[in-house]
A and B are shown apart, each in its own frame.
Chain A
Amino acid sequence: MIPTAHVHILAALLFGLGILGFLRQRNAIMLLMSVELMLNSANLSFLAAAREQGNVDGAMMPLFVLVVAAAEAAVGLALIIILFRKRVSLDVDLLRSLRD
């Protein structure tokens, strides 16, 4: 059986990858994917911990997270489409009309 610690390490690596992606990428869709990666790494951690703890509380959370992630993807993609229609670009660095 895979030790729980290893799963946590994998989850942490994925989470770090997500953060890195969010900070490095400039494409809105890539940002969205980075966030999904972060959420899913948390799911992995939850499941591993639930297996170790032996209760279902932790196994329940990923369900909620998945549902919310789906909703987030829907909202996010809709917003990204509006942006694309206006700008014909997905570069978030172009988002700078709001400032003083």
Chain B
Amino acid sequence: MFREPLLPWMVFLPLAGAFTVLFSPLRETGLRRLALLFSGVTAVLGAVAFAAFSPELSGFQFRFEQDWFTLPGLDAPLRLALGLDGLSVLLLALSAFLMPLILVSAPGHIRHRVREFLFWALLMEAGMIGVFAATDLVLFYFFWELSLIPLYFLVGIWGGPNRIYASLKFVLYTLAGSLVLLVGLIRVALEAGTTDIGRLIEADLDPGLQRFAFACFALGFLIKVPVLPFHTWLPDAHVQAPTGGSVVLAGVMLKMGTYGLMRFGLQAFPAGAVDWAPWLLLLGAAGIVYGSLLAWAQSDIKKLVAYSSVGHLGFVVLGTFAGNATALQGAVLQGVNHGISTGALFLLVGVLYDRRHTRAMDAFGGLARTFPAFAFLLVLTSLASVGLPGTNGFVGEFLILMGTFEQHPWLAALAGLGVVLGAVYMLGLCREVLFGPVTHEANRRLEPLRPREWAALAPLAALMLWIGLYPSPFLERTRFACFETAERLAPWLERAGEEARPPAPALPATPEPELR
């Protein structure tokens, strides 16, 4: 009964909220509450979607369809088509869940032009939720770019001193990818005659088209993720972005890339995915090691967290293209985990920055004694980020490594090295910041965590433990989709394997039935 209108409401509420905030006569505090109300209701709907999602069903659930308009050259009209399946349900819930937390924590770092901030934040939320809910290719692209422009403004207006450069770089990189994606999209739409994602997946497109489309789409997604050679925009954007922007960027934006790789790369264009998988696996593994090494070398905490993202997302890419259901499931879950733990890390960095206006690691030390609540949260989040058993990170990384090991033991070993490196730099961070003597007087009088900071951090901490200790609600919701995707990939993998092997002895020629 509530299933059909659920997703449209989740997209519409933030959108309506954005414009309500823009034109509302309220002042600052009222506006913040209003925006929080809109995103809070959306988050509740997201929780409902997560809870009511039935793990046993194949295909899209909560489907909503409405004819939109017809593009020339296509038979079927474009549709405002929304739906959820195992690949998207977790990410959708995460996007809806993160935004209220960001709005709650925002007064700490967004002190001017609040109305505009709330407008862009809510608009971005609509875009992000739409990306995960869209089951029409063109609609997906609409939301994909709709979420980009708000982040441009968030970084460009409320960012650090180098914000204009960083935001421009971020937008140009992402757009380069999405424009190429657009050409691929146009060709797929014209040759398949449909833009419905479900039908595209079922359609078994021509392999040549699949390869072309995969190359176009993957470029867009790889830049967004970002995977190794395309990652240079990420540290700039993260360091310059305000805390809220960083949280969204790490928590959801990057996941749009990995989600796209799974949805389109694997599901719709498996032939292309199999062709490119070896390279992407290599890039993923290289990203893990490279990101970790760079993170290790940073002295700015935010940069460290930003580079750690490159490493974590390497894991996700590895799991995506490992070619089996276990790794894929791990990749889906790890995407969510990264959103939670890195989001929390950025919030924690924000907590420090609000108090000391610096993010240099050596400006801190001994906070475990002077700022115990913070220390507890930082340790917990670091452990989750490292993947200690009992936290969410462990479940995801373990599944990815296990799945990858079956097919590509060497890559799994390389990734395992990345886990170790991750532990080295994250624990190094904890040591520098939390332990040792208090070197700066200012650190003795740090203001304790405020209620709104607790309100933003505690739910994330709870989620880390929940997924770590009792992951089955999350895993069972993704299982079906992951297995189906892997099954769809299997024949292409086999075919690729056959081609790689020396050709089998020729079968006795069977005469072709002649057509008369």
- Whether A and B touch (Cβ < 8 Å) is answered with no
